[in-house]
Amino acid sequence: MALALCAWIASSLTACTYADVCWEVYTCAPDPEPPPGPCEGQPESAPALDQCGVFVSENGDDRSPGTKGAPVRTLQHAIGLAASGRGNGEAPTRRVYACGGAFEEAISLPQGVDLWGGRLCAGGDWSYGGPLDGRNALTVIVPPVGIPVRVLGGDDAVLGGDDATSVIFGVRAVAADASASDGKSSIAMILSHGARAIVRASEIFAGNGKDGEPGEDAPSFRASAGVVGNDGADACTADVAMGTLQVLTVCDDGIESRGGYGGDGGIETGGDGASGLPEPVGSPDNRGLGGSGASSMACKEGEKGADGADAERAAGAVGAGLPGVDGWVGVRGEDGKRGGVGQGGGGGGGGTGRNACPAGRPQGGAAGGSGGSGGCGGQGGKGGNYGGASIAILALQGSALTVDDSTVLGAKGGDGGVGGTGQWGGFGVDGGLGGHGLLTDTSRGCRGGFGGNGGRGGDAGGGLGGHSLGIGSVGASVTISQNATVSPGQAGTGGLGGNATPESQLGQGHDGIALFWYRFDAPAPEPPR
């Protein structure tokens, strides 16, 4: 029975070496490898066949089927055919063969669709010429605006296969200056969320970022001035000359400055004037106090209101900015704050009518004048805008990028914009005159105090300088081979603060970052100055 079992086992094996004894170990040769498919192989050597890909040439026609003998004209049309098939039930080839030459279009490549460029099409064989055969050997993607190459992942790449990887080979992607959607940055390639791509034997070049616009200056004319205080009533016109009504300035931001009421004119004593509003901050020399009313001594004038505080220069832009599907968004300088409103002047003290008014007339002294209201604070300048970034490849969350035997270069980041200048505050104005007295000095009313001047609006901070990066990533996997060249250009300098000199660095935005690879999700390096 054992011999029969052994014979059955031996007969079921192919290409096996075995012994006569059943329990000895059998040694079998591995099954032969299946022959490679006609579309398999490396871009440098694999045959270019109609069944393997869609063909695109500068001299093609998008009404053609995209075969080797009848190529299409535009890369994006070829990509669509490769991702979905030429029609008539044909399966997607998921590969594009592109002639060497210039294509002035921006493309979106679903992951899993390969772009094999740099083909030599003149002889009709569509072989790969190699990047060292001259600048025209590569397929040049050079749109006048936009981001030349986007690799789509996630839900945007269902046609290409969610788990597949795109191979970009024999391509030169060149971004125009400031060609991203913000009109400021220049980015040559973006891997969207979850996209996977290998860049091989290619050149990816970013253009220059645009300098940031200066922040808007506040108005060159002064802010609104205060209102002249009201004059007090004369002596001997009433037994009690009512205190003079206050005046009011309402500024653009809704903050008010009020002159103090003038003191009443009385028979025995004059009333005190009221202090101006708003109450001052800190301990200024003038506090807008109301003047005291007359008794045995003459009244006192209202005190000048405190000037509004000048706003300090705002801070310059700090931070790395935010990468996203549309590129990179930098940081503006802080806006200048509004200057403080001037305090209203104090109301003048009222007079007394004692021994001053003739018999038969009202016996009250003159009322004090109300204080003038203060000037409004000046508006602040607006922060300088950020300089555009120059980023060759930007890899977003969940994407995977491999750069092999390629050159990836950033260019010049834009300089940050200068901060806008602040507005001068409005003038404070005169308080009202006290009413006239009769016979004695104590019967007159005293003048209201001047309103304080409004504070100057703050100068704004400068914008962030644009980065220059070979590769920027956030939450992505990046592999750079030893035979790849990945380099930055020159980062932009931070914008000056409004009304500041380069030497002072007051309110200046931080310079951009210049690195061959910068991870936006890693701790930021010490900002360059």
pLDDT of residue 45: 87
Burial of 7 (0-12, 13-18, 19+ CB in 10 A): exposed
pLDDT of residue 187: 98
The secondary structure of 110-160 as a DSSP string is ETT-EEEEEEE-TTSS-EE--GGG-GGGSEEE--SSS-SEEEE-GGGGTTT
With a pLDDT cut of 90, the percent of the chain lying above it is 78
Between 287 and 134, the higher pLDDT residue:
287
pLDDT of residue 421: 98
pLDDT of residue 369: 97
Secondary structure tally for the chain: helices H, strands E: 2, 26
pLDDT of residue 87: 82
pLDDT tier at 527 (50, 70, 90 boundaries)?
A: low
Q: Average pLDDT in the 295-303 region? A: 95
The secondary structure of 230-292 as a DSSP string is PPPPPTTS-SSBPPPPP-EEE-TTS-EEEPPPPPPBBSSSPPPPPPPBSPPSS--S---PPPP
How far is it, in rounded angstroms, from Cα 402 to Cα 464? 30
pLDDT at position 50 over 80: yes
pLDDT of residue 156: 62
Q: Average pLDDT in the 284-288 region? A: 91
pLDDT at position 80 over 90: yes
pLDDT at position 8 over 60: no
How far is it, in rounded angstroms, from Cα 470 to Cα 464? 19
Least confident segment among 22-26, 50-54, 421-425: 22-26
pLDDT tier at 285 (50, 70, 90 boundaries)?
A: confident
With a pLDDT cut of 70, the percent of the chain lying above it is 90
First to last CA, the chain: 89
pLDDT at position 135 over 50: no
Q: Give pLDDT tens digits for 453-503.
A: 999 999 999 999 999 999 999 999 999 999 999 999 999 999 999 999 989
Between 527 and 143, the higher pLDDT residue:
143
pLDDT at position 411 over 80: yes
pLDDT of residue 38: 84
Least confident segment among 2-11, 125-134, 507-516: 2-11
Instruction: Give the 3-state secondary structure of residue 197.
Output: strand
pLDDT at position 39 over 60: yes
User: How are strands ordered across the β-sheet holding 407-409?
Assistant: 101-103, 139-141, 171-174, 203-205, 407-409, 485-487
